[in-house]
Structure 1
Amino acid sequence: MFKKILIANRGEIAVRICKSAHALGISTLAIFAEDDKDSMHVKTASDAVSLGEGKLSDTYLNIDKIIGIAQEYACDAVHPGYGFLSENAAFVAACEAAELTFIGPSSKAIKLMGNKIEARKFAQQAGIPTTEGFTGSKEEILEKGAQLPYPLLIKAAAGGGGKGMRIVRQASELEQAIASTSREAKTYFGDEAVYVEQYLDEPRHIEVQVLADHHQNVVHLYERECSLQRRYQKIIEEAPSPSLNAATREEIGKAAVQLAKAIPYSNAGTIEFLLDKEQKFYFLEMNTRIQVEHPVTELTTGIDLLAEQIKIAAGHVLPFTQENIQQKGHAIECRIYAESPENNFLPSPGEITYYYPPKSPNYRLDTFIDKPIRIQSSYDPMISKLIVYGKDREQARANSISALKEYAIHGIDTNIHYLLHLLQSEDFVENRISTKYCDQHTPRLLDEMEELKKKNSLLAIASAGLSYELASTEQNDKSHINENIWQELGYWRPLPAIKLLLHNEEVHIELWNIRKGEYELIFGTQNEVLKIKHKDQGKIVYYLGDIEHTAFVSDNEDQSYQISFEGMSYQMKRLDKLANSELIMENTGAEEASNHLSSPMPGKVIQLNVKAGDTVKKGEVLLIVEAMKMENNIIAPKNAKVEEIYVSQDAMVDRNMPLVKLSEVDDEEH
């Protein structure tokens, strides 16, 4: 067995590798960019080495630097995790040259399956069904585009993880889509080649986990369904798939093993398929690495995939045969992203000011943070993965909902409420979903989410904030930043009118003390007794009348409160004179009437299309800001002239940082 493994990755997967390696008695060496020095994987590993500062090419993608560190610290193996260099054949070759064992497949397998075009050809030769598709130069693709019915799917030939993919619904969109996809492919994967294929109508995304050792043993660990995606990024995964019948489940498992044997493959890999309404499946791609969603397979089979990866790389024989592997119960994984669903899912990097993860032993949380830290714009927006098990799908769903309601992250926006709404939807319960579901139904889902927020009792939410202040006073807790009104007047005195701004509504409440921890609230015609049961690290448990509520409360820098209630986020601001409050409205970017366009998020300017003096038309893309592997177009809100440009190509920008100044023009100039 290995003595020391270098982990060529970051984030939750680096933490996950550490845990499995340590359980096997192997020490670990973490590497980290300087902006990642407070990340959990640095503390979890046996030792850690800085990669310095700079772009990804200078840190986590710097093969020479990583190999040099592995040699200097006497490592005998390297685990790449997922993403970054995990499917980079040149990295595997560099490990081999340095006499380091790469914990993954051979460079030959990575090359073969890493390119979608070659992988597709190989799958066809191996007898695995595929959809129609083609590649070539931009001119060739434009010409061949007429051969397939629209819509088409354009994707990076060397891509994965939902990056570098676009749907084209008509011929007029094809050329621009090829250019954008090619640019993303070059940025993320170092290969600008793109592939075009037929786009199936409302397919399911089914993937099969395989394990193969170096002794010609290959097994599958059944399937996962990953149909709930947004912009090709998976957000909810589950095992087993609720969409497969028994015959198709057996057939798709055999097809995955057949392909792995044909390569021949070793270590862990995932073979992805699209499933149509007639239970026919088509090869999509193979990921020659551990997958983000591997935990649902671990929970339903009881097999530690990371440990098996390490043991296979060390030459061990698989300890089980296909007949030994059973799939029991149901598991659901929710990916927690730093993004704002209400703001077109824009990335939301920044400072986490309050972090309270679900603490039940029945939940598994794979994450790289254990306290409030800064989420960098340079990396993927995933904060954590919440994985929940149940005896069946309905129990797993109910447990997932409970866990998400116990998960509070303040300071940045997250998709927790969106995930909750998906799990609670009738469509999910009845399994009426597909890979297109989120993109088709999100506008309706967001409207429903806002309606649900409004329907929650304002008094119940206000009581959470008031309970936080009252309990803090009773506990003599001076950790929160608000000037406490109860310390000014004494909590035992009546306040005839407490004025709050809650979810953009002004709320007036009368509060009278009954006894310590118990108060009478008067809100309009409502008269309720508030009893504070428990306060711990911002978690407030209280009764309003006979109903018990749980909320999570934290202070903001502007002396307001952020409240998580039933998985939803609210802002509460004291408006009475002692709170000395003003509502601070955040500038969210360009508006129609503004001549200054600002960045909607922290990120990097990856393309600048205009210069000072240019005239532009409404809707024209002026520049592109990339954040968390997502391109965001900054468009002209009107016909205008570019007066001034405040940024340059490749410049890093902060949220609300001015980008371009426009001026009015006469229509005749256009």
Structure 2
Amino acid sequence: MFETVLVANRGEIAVRVIRTLRSLGVRSVAVFSDADADARHVREADTAVRIGPAPAAESYLSAERLLEAAARTGAQAVHPGYGFLAENAGFARACADAGLVFIGPPAEAISLMGDKIRAKETVEAAGVPVVPGGRDPELADAARQLGAPVLLKPSAGGGGKGMRLVRDLTVLEEEIAAARREARASFGDDTLLVERWVDRPRHIEIQVLADGHGNVIHLSERECSLQRRHQKIIEEAPSVLLDEATRAAMGEAAVQAARSCGYRGAGTVEFIVPGGDPSSYYFMEMNTRLQVEHPVTELITGLDLVEWQLRVAAGEELPYGQGDIGLTGHAIEARVCAEIPSRGFLPSGGTVLKLAEPQGDGIRTDSGLSEGTEVGSLYDPMLSKVIAYGPDRETAIRKLRAALAETVTLGVQTNAGFLRRLLAHPAVVAGELDTGLVEREVDALVRDEVPTEVYAAAVLARQAALAPAADAGWADPFSAADGWRLGGERAWTPHHLRVPGHEPVTVRVRSTPHGGVELLLPGADEPLRGSGGVPPRPGAEGRLTFMLDGVRHTFHRAGDWLGRDGDAWQVRDHDPVAASLTRAGHAGADSLTAPMPGTVTVVKVAVGDEVTAGQSLLVVEAMKMEHVISAPHAGTVAELDVTPGTTVAMDQVLAVITPAEEDQ
């Protein structure tokens, strides 16, 4: 076994790898950019080395700096995690040239399986079933021969970038051109392939493990059909779709695929499976690295996949045959990402002010977070993974929903509440999954309204914070904030509040003679009555509990953030006078604001330019996602507050467009 291993990654996967290194007594070396100087993976490693400034291209994607860090710390091996350089054949070769062991497959296997066309041809020759299709240069002819619908895919990439579903072959040429542009921009290679589209497909992958002595086994399957924009969000093992015969056949096909490319280490063979005919499975691609969803396989097999990556890389032989691998129970994982479901899942960001991550019986959280972590726009939006294990699928799902309700990342909005609702969807509960389910049901799963009790919690916290402490002695009643006055009923105190992305509201509150409160919410004819539970010193962070019309509500609180059941809201004070002055100052002009925290990468206009409705004006980039800011109407650029490279916060004003006369 190695003495020292450098972990060439960040976030939750770096923390995960470091955990196994520690259990094996292996010294861990973390690397970090300036943005991650105080990150959790840096603090948990035995040694940490700065490798450059915040942009990934100058730090985590710099093979030269990573190899320098390995040399400085005496590392014998490099674990690439996933993402960044994990599937980069050039980096694997550079490690070997530097005398380092790359904890992953041979560079030749990475290169072969990274080219979807060569990969498909290779596994097909090994007897693995593949989706009927074609490739450049006969791409268009192959598509017409297959018949609609067909799927266009870049040969060099993944993650859904450049993929186009074509249901109408009269627009085939335009779709091919668009797919080439995106493939070229994303991967530097516009080579495409075309495949027959499988309607209502299920995405099922097989975990394989191979050593350097010719042994290859599979560790059964994972169901990864719950996806959004071709990105997995919930994964489970085993799949309810497969019977034992199909499971064994797919496992053997995955083993043959791994053998066909001379694989070594942990890898995943992905299949597309028609939901109505599971026996008709087709090879899709091979991921030549550890997968994000590997914990569900670990929980049902009892094997530590990172440990076996290390042992295989160190030259050990697998002590298991295929017959030694058994499956026990059911595991399911949810990916918690920094994104705002109510805003089309745009990336979010900020500082983690309060953090609670569930652990315990049947619950595991893999995370790179800690309180004080800055979540910026430079890296992938995935923050953590919550995994539940139980004796059966029903128990595992129930545990995962409960764990997501306990997940708190106040200061950074996440998709945890959305994931809870998805897990309760009848089709998910029944196991009737396909890769299009989330997109079809997304509107019903996204909570786009702020629950009234959120505003009630914010008002009660503010009201109680203004109250004198219990031990403060006598207090001037005329200075109290409870609406007391001499004679008559207590007065209503207005609180003007706003949740970003929603219209401001005014909530009126007054105390009652017996220590309770009344709240009058917008549009309500009758007040709600609240009582009890609010902490005596509610200015402190923590839990905020109260009764409202006989129902008990509990929120996590940090600053102006409130969270409950995996959802979070930032409830800000709102000054209606200042807001009206701002609107008046623009004299009817429309402000264009940043939809997410990020960096302005493109500015296409200048002050004084005439623009047309829908014209692209700026591009904001965050967490590998670009968002185009377009003109809401024809007019003139009256203000432009950003330049390329400007870092912006969510809702920050970027530009102001004065409407053309006919639009006013």
TM-score bracket, normalised by the shorter chain, equals: 0.7 to 0.9
| Deviation of 1:142 (Å) | 4.9
Stretch of structure 1 that moved more, 636-645 or 37-46: 636-645
| Deviation of 1:520 (Å) | 3.2
Stretch of structure 1 that moved more, 603-612 or 369-378: 603-612
Stretch of structure 1 that moved more, 469-478 or 62-71: 469-478
CA distance in 1, matches of 2:88, 2:309: 17
Stretch of structure 1 that moved more, 352-361 or 266-275: 352-361
Residue 110 (structure 2) aligns with: 110
Residue 211 (structure 1) aligns with: 209
8 Å CA contact 2:334–2:386 kept in 1: the answer is yes
| Deviation of 1:15 (Å) | 0.7
Q: Which amino acid aligns with 1:208?
A: I
| Deviation of 1:60 (Å) | 1.0
Residue 553 (structure 1) aligns with: 557
SS of structure 2 residue aligned to 1:72: helix
8 Å CA contact 1:574–1:581 kept in 2: the answer is no
Q: Which amino acid aligns with 2:36?
A: D
Residue 540 (structure 1) aligns with: 544
| Deviation of 1:639 (Å) | 4.5
Q: Residues 474, 402 of structure 1: CA spacing in aligned structure 2 closer, same or farther, 3 A cutoff? A: farther
2:91 is the alignment partner of 1:96: no
CA distance in 1, matches of 2:127, 2:85: 30
2:465 is the alignment partner of 1:466: no
Residue 196 (structure 2) aligns with: 198
Residue 52 (structure 2) aligns with: 52
CA distance in 1, matches of 2:225, 2:356: 29
SS of structure 2 residue aligned to 1:225: strand
8 Å CA contact 1:153–1:197 kept in 2: the answer is yes
CA distance in 1, matches of 2:36, 2:594: 24
Q: Residues 647, 17 of structure 1: CA spacing in aligned structure 2 closer, same or farther, 3 A cutoff? A: same
Q: Alignment identity in percent?
A: 40
Per-residue CA deviation, residues 283-338 of structure 1 (Å, 9 max, x unaligned), is 11000000001111111111111111001100111132222211111111111111
CA distance in 1, matches of 2:320, 2:548: 55
8 Å CA contact 2:365–2:387 kept in 1: the answer is yes
- Map residues 333-372 of structure 1 onto 2, 5 A cutoff: 333-360=333-360, 362-372=362-372
SS of structure 2 residue aligned to 1:104: coil
Q: Residues 336, 489 of structure 1: CA spacing in aligned structure 2 closer, same or farther, 3 A cutoff? A: same
8 Å CA contact 1:573–1:581 kept in 2: the answer is no
Residue 520 (structure 1) aligns with: 516
Residue 562 (structure 2) aligns with: 563
Q: Residues 124, 459 of structure 1: CA spacing in aligned structure 2 closer, same or farther, 3 A cutoff? A: closer
CA distance in 2, matches of 1:116, 1:485: 76
- Map residues 217-616 of structure 1 onto 2, 5 A cutoff: 217-276=215-274, 277-279=276-278, 280-360=280-360, 362-446=362-446, 449-450=447-448, 454=451, 458=452, 462-463=456-457, 466=460, 470=464, 489=480, 497-500=492-495, 505-512=505-512, 519-522=515-518, 524=526, 527=529, 529-531=531-533, 537-541=541-545, 548-556=552-560, 562-570=561-569, 572=571, 597-605=592-600
Residue 481 (structure 1) aligns with: none
| Deviation of 1:542 (Å) | 5.2
CA distance in 2, matches of 1:224, 1:100: 32
Residue 523 (structure 2) aligns with: none
| Deviation of 1:166 (Å) | 3.6
Per-residue CA deviation, residues 90-132 of structure 1 (Å, 9 max, x unaligned), is 1111111111000000011111111111111112111111112
8 Å CA contact 2:112–2:119 kept in 1: the answer is yes
Residue 625 (structure 1) aligns with: 620
Q: Residues 407, 320 of structure 1: CA spacing in aligned structure 2 closer, same or farther, 3 A cutoff? A: same
TM-score (norm 2): 0.85
CA distance in 2, matches of 1:264, 1:106: 8
Q: Residues 143, 662 of structure 1: CA spacing in aligned structure 2 closer, same or farther, 3 A cutoff? A: farther
Residue 637 (structure 1) aligns with: 632
Q: Residues 473, 18 of structure 1: CA spacing in aligned structure 2 closer, same or farther, 3 A cutoff? A: farther
CA distance in 2, matches of 1:220, 1:299: 15
Residue 33 (structure 1) aligns with: 33
Unaligned 5+ runs, structure 1: 479-483, 557-561
8 Å CA contact 1:225–1:237 kept in 2: the answer is yes
| Deviation of 1:611 (Å) | 7.8
Q: 1:148 aligns with which of 135, 142, 146?
A: 146
| Deviation of 1:607 (Å) | 5.7
| Deviation of 1:613 (Å) | 8.6
| Deviation of 1:434 (Å) | 0.9
| Deviation of 1:347 (Å) | 1.2
CA distance in 1, matches of 2:507, 2:54: 49
CA distance in 1, matches of 2:630, 2:11: 33
Q: Which amino acid aligns with 1:398?
A: R
CA distance in 2, matches of 1:128, 1:94: 32
Q: Residues 477, 47 of structure 1: CA spacing in aligned structure 2 closer, same or farther, 3 A cutoff? A: farther
| Deviation of 1:490 (Å) | 8.8
CA distance in 1, matches of 2:655, 2:191: 32
SS of structure 2 residue aligned to 1:243: coil
8 Å CA contact 1:493–1:513 kept in 2: the answer is no
CA distance in 1, matches of 2:578, 2:359: 34
Residue 7 (structure 1) aligns with: 7
SS of structure 2 residue aligned to 1:332: strand
8 Å CA contact 1:493–1:512 kept in 2: the answer is no
Q: Residues 473, 405 of structure 1: CA spacing in aligned structure 2 closer, same or farther, 3 A cutoff? A: farther
Per-residue CA deviation, residues 133-160 of structure 1 (Å, 9 max, x unaligned), is 33336xx645654333333333332223
Unaligned 5+ runs, structure 2: 520-525
Q: Residues 198, 390 of structure 1: CA spacing in aligned structure 2 closer, same or farther, 3 A cutoff? A: same
Q: Which amino acid aligns with 1:312?
A: V
| Deviation of 1:21 (Å) | 0.8
Residue 559 (structure 1) aligns with: none
| Deviation of 1:176 (Å) | 5.8
CA distance in 1, matches of 2:477, 2:464: 7
CA distance in 2, matches of 1:155, 1:413: 32
Stretch of structure 1 that moved more, 631-640 or 24-33: 631-640
CA distance in 2, matches of 1:486, 1:380: 53
Stretch of structure 1 that moved more, 220-229 or 655-664: 655-664
| Deviation of 1:74 (Å) | 1.1
CA distance in 2, matches of 1:485, 1:655: 41
CA distance in 2, matches of 1:567, 1:637: 34
Q: Which amino acid aligns with 2:218?
A: H
Q: Which amino acid aligns with 1:443?
A: D
CA distance in 1, matches of 2:512, 2:169: 68
| Deviation of 1:63 (Å) | 1.0
8 Å CA contact 1:337–1:415 kept in 2: the answer is yes
Per-residue CA deviation, residues 376-406 of structure 1 (Å, 9 max, x unaligned), is 2111111111111122111111111111111
CA distance in 2, matches of 1:648, 1:464: 36
Number of equivalences: 637
Per-residue CA deviation, residues 344-394 of structure 1 (Å, 9 max, x unaligned), is 111112333333333545421111111132212111111111111122111
CA distance in 1, matches of 2:311, 2:477: 61
Q: Which amino acid aligns with 1:320?
A: Y
Q: Which amino acid aligns with 2:404?
A: L
Stretch of structure 1 that moved more, 546-555 or 80-89: 546-555
8 Å CA contact 1:239–1:296 kept in 2: the answer is yes
Q: Which amino acid aligns with 1:281?
A: Y
Residue 21 (structure 2) aligns with: 21
